[in-house]
Amino acid sequence: MKNQTEIYIASDHAGFKLKSKILELYFIDKPNFIIKDLGAYSEESVDYPLFAQKLCKKVKKNNFGILICGSGIGVSIAANRFNHIRAAVCSTVYDAKMTRKHNDSNVICLSGRGFVKKNIFAMLDTYFNTAFEAGRHLRRIKKI
């Protein structure tokens, strides 16, 4: 199939349930995505930086990542230590839209606790369907 985009997804134990829902329900009818699950594979306690690192080593120019921990904040901090990663914690559709449009974000970070499936799926739809605006935003990204 042409124009397939690789999406890497990883979580810690606190994000495992949401990661499972995304894999089970969100990507089921999206043949234009190739999904790579990098763990965790259970709710057994693990250290989120290891999963953020694993994902960030895989994300390249034309693919994306989804990272999930309890709040989304820890994986975001860990991911942004990589020079080629622009990871953003998103809790609204507006956040997902603006991080793609203005920041050319390549990793979306989500909270695995207290999520509402409908909201998460709307955020992912927006994230993956929003193009980077470039222009003045590209100038700003180059300064990071």
The C-alpha atoms of residue 99 and residue 22 are separated, in whole angstroms, by 20
Residue 1, pLDDT score: 42
Count of beta carbons in the 10 Å neighbourhood of residue 133? 14
Q: What is the pTM of this model?
A: 0.93
Q: What are phi and psi of 85, to 5 degrees?
A: -105, 135
C-beta separation of 102 from 120 below 8 A? no
Q: Which domain holds residue 16?
A: 5-141
Active-site choice (13, 84, 102, 137): 102
* CATH number of residue 121's parent domain: 3.40.1400.10
Total number of domains constituting the chain: 1
Instruction: Give CA separation, 27 vs 46, 48, 73, 78, 110, in Å.
Output: 25, 23, 24, 25, 16
Place of tokens 């559709």: 93
Please report the pLDDT score of residue 61 as a whole number.
85
Share of the chain above pLDDT 90, in %: 81
The two tokens of residue 35 are 């999904």
Looking at residue 62, its pLDDT comes to: 86
Q: Sorting pLDDT into bands at 50, 70 and 90, what band is 133?
A: confident
Taking the mean position of all CA atoms in its chain, how far away is CA 58?
12
pLDDT at 101 over 80: yes
137: annotated active-site residue: no
Residue 35 CA to residue 97 CA, distance in Å, equals 21
102: tokens are 């203005």
For residue 139, name the pLDDT band (cuts at 50, 70, 90).
Answer: low
- In tens, the pLDDT along 22-71 reads 999 999 999 999 999 999 999 999 999 999 999 999 999 889 999 999 99
Tokens of 89: 């914690």
Residues 6+ apart with CB under 8 A from 88: 76, 95, 99, 103, 105, 107, 108, 109
